[in-house]
Structure 1
Amino acid sequence: MNYENLVTVIRRLALEAGDKIMEIYNSDDFEVKSKSDSSPVTEADEAADALISAGLREAFPDMPLVTEEQADSHDVEAMTFLIVDPLDGTKEFVNRRGDFTVNIALVEDGVPTFGVVYAPAKDRMFYTDSVGNSVEEMGPFDKETPGETKPIKVSSPDNSALLVVASKSHRDQATDDYINKYSTADMKSAGSSLKFCLVATGEADIYPRLGRTMEWDTAAGQAVLQGAGGRVVRFDDHTPLAYGKPGFANPFFIAYSPDVVLKDA
């Protein structure tokens, strides 16, 4: 894999998909349908997925591709593959809250190594560079020519005053009970894979997720967080979160700065 080419392609596709998503987001109305698991899907999900998957298949025809919106791709059995959530945070999109992202990642040997997370309504874009270090690019964004970037790095947290980020749409009592094991200075909510990016930039120290997620929800965010020095582990035993699992469903997990002293489940 030519990583420099990979980063160029996934960055451009994320921006192109973001334009398509915002065109629909800013329209007077858009259709919302329900998938078999009762989760919402919009024409923006489908349009972004078509654009991204066509671009990836053209650029990397021999690489397996897994994408949320194509059920036949969920039968892929591989440890190295591209994985896409064309519109992560559909509930945030439908409710016009802005906390949604385009997620594209490369998983190698079960580990997300390169990824891009683009939040078009927030004008924020995070990605791994060609050597796997994470940056945030400053807008305005040009699809062909990257703008100014700044390296991002996880915090050196104060364990007596942690900054916690949790899901905006999927917060529950179990999550609150776990968070209450820590000494916290601030709690914020965010949607989609932005939570990983807030830990990656040091805007938060820890993100626990005690709820259902799929690998396409987390791979790009995990790649960005790891490239900023962070970690993602299983909630139950604190071993690394692995990818390429049958069905692509994740266990509960914790994303954090390595200097956070984790509490047991």
Structure 2
Amino acid sequence: MKQLLAIATEAAYAAGKAILDIYGSNAFDTRKKADASPVTAADKAAHAIISGYLARTNIPVLSEEGKHQDFSTRTQWEYFWLVDPLDGTKEFISKNGEFTVNIALIHLNKPVAGVVYAPVLGDLYYGSLETGVYKNNISIPALARKQSLSDLLLRPSITIIASRSHLSDETKDFIARFSNVTLTSMGSSLKFMLLLEGKADLYPRLFPTMEWDTAAAHALLNASNRGIYHAGNKEELTYNKADLTNPYFLSY
């Protein structure tokens, strides 16, 4: 696991450098994908670099910007890498710096290791249950135990992460269940890192996301006694589904 994480962190650093080169040039070459979401030259460059590094592991790669193999093929994978080469493309285009490189290792449909790198901020998060979780090579201590939603509802005050771009009416209604709420916001997978570092308590996402948006952060959270749960049934999210769209979720 340490060797695989070392390769994944190398890949994230190299992709981050390429992203920053394009970020500084303003030559984004922004286009719209079939689902109307934006893609830039930085997304494509990061995908190529990460794919090259991860090829050394002989483990299949499923990347947002690469070819998506048929489900019949993917079901044969015991392990695979799940990659978002540039999570937060809208943040990249708006130049607020809140975007990340996400690389997750999936085993039997569960995230077991993750790397989240924020090139502008210079922050690298990585880890697994076996190795522990680190930010810039400094250990992040895990919670003593997993929390429940009931625990959070009983708190006299709570910090909730709300998406800038996707604050749906359902999310607003959910937040209204809590008293004395402080709202905070951050782009990309950095929202999950606020939970990881104890800077927020709860992240409700009642709006569509994709598996590569959550997998790397999910691995880090699981290694720290936190999780990402179906909003409806409180089970952990799983990966490598026929449809790569996540259900609505709560993370705490």
2:129·2:223 contact (CA, 8 Å) conserved in 1?
A: no
Shift of 1:225: 1.2
In the TM superposition, 1:141-180 aligns within 5 A as 148-154=137-143, 159-180=155-176
Q: Please give the alpha-carbon distance, in whole angstroms, between the structure 2 residues aligned to 1:111 and 1:164.
A: 25
Deviations 1:159-194 (A, max 9, x none): 221111121222222111111111244110111111
Q: Please give the alpha-carbon distance, in whole angstroms, between the structure 2 residues aligned to 1:234 and 1:13.
A: 30
Q: Report % sequence identity.
A: 38
Shift of 1:79: 5.2
- The AA in structure 1 aligned to 2:46 is A
Q: Secondary structure at the match of 2:68?
A: helix
Q: Please give the alpha-carbon distance, in whole angstroms, between the structure 1 residues aligned to 2:38 and 2:202.
A: 28
Q: Please give the alpha-carbon distance, in whole angstroms, between the structure 2 residues aligned to 1:71 and 1:150.
A: 35
Shift of 1:246: 0.7
What's 1:245 paired with?
241
Q: Please give the alpha-carbon distance, in whole angstroms, between the structure 2 residues aligned to 1:174 and 1:233.
A: 16
Q: Please give the alpha-carbon distance, in whole angstroms, between the structure 2 residues aligned to 1:187 and 1:89.
A: 20
Q: TM-score, normalised by structure 1?
A: 0.86
- The AA in structure 1 aligned to 2:170 is A
Deviations 1:115-161 (A, max 9, x none): 00001112211110582421111xxxxxxxxxx41324359877221
- The AA in structure 1 aligned to 2:202 is I
Shift of 1:96: 0.6
Shift of 1:234: 0.2
Deviations 1:59-93 (A, max 9, x none): 222x2211000133364334531100000000000
Segments of 4+ in structure 1 off by > 6 A? 155-158
Q: TM-score, normalised by structure 2?
A: 0.90
User: Is 1:199–2:188 an aligned residue pair?
Assistant: no
Q: Please give the alpha-carbon distance, in whole angstroms, between the structure 2 residues aligned to 1:60 and 1:190.
A: 32
* Structure 2: runs of 5 or more not aligned: none
Q: Taking structure 1 as reference, are residues 101 and 152 closer, same or farther at Cα in structure 2, changes over 3 Å only? A: farther
Q: How many residues align?
A: 242
Match among 30, 36, 48 for residue 50 of structure 1: 48
Q: Please give the alpha-carbon distance, in whole angstroms, between the structure 1 residues aligned to 2:131 and 2:238.
A: 18
Higher deviation after alignment, 227-236 or 177-186: 177-186
- The AA in structure 1 aligned to 2:57 is F
Q: Taking structure 1 as reference, are residues 168 and 74 closer, same or farther at Cα in structure 2, changes over 3 Å only? A: farther
* Structure 1: runs of 5 or more not aligned: 138-147, 257-265
CA RMSD of aligned residues (A): 1.8
In the TM superposition, 1:186-265 aligns within 5 A as 186-256=182-252
Q: Please give the alpha-carbon distance, in whole angstroms, between the structure 1 residues aligned to 2:140 and 2:38.
A: 35
What's 1:39 paired with?
37
User: Is 1:73–2:72 an aligned residue pair?
Assistant: no
In the TM superposition, 1:62-101 aligns within 5 A as 63-73=59-69, 75=71, 76-77=74-75, 78=77, 80-101=79-100
Q: Taking structure 1 as reference, are residues 129 and 240 closer, same or farther at Cα in structure 2, changes over 3 Å only? A: closer
User: Is 1:135–2:146 an aligned residue pair?
Assistant: no
Q: Taking structure 1 as reference, are residues 9 and 22 closer, same or farther at Cα in structure 2, changes over 3 Å only? A: same
Match among 8, 12, 21 for residue 14 of structure 1: 12
Q: Secondary structure at the match of 2:215?
A: helix
Q: Secondary structure at the match of 1:5?
A: helix
- The AA in structure 2 aligned to 1:45 is D
Q: Please give the alpha-carbon distance, in whole angstroms, between the structure 1 residues aligned to 2:125 and 2:41.
A: 25
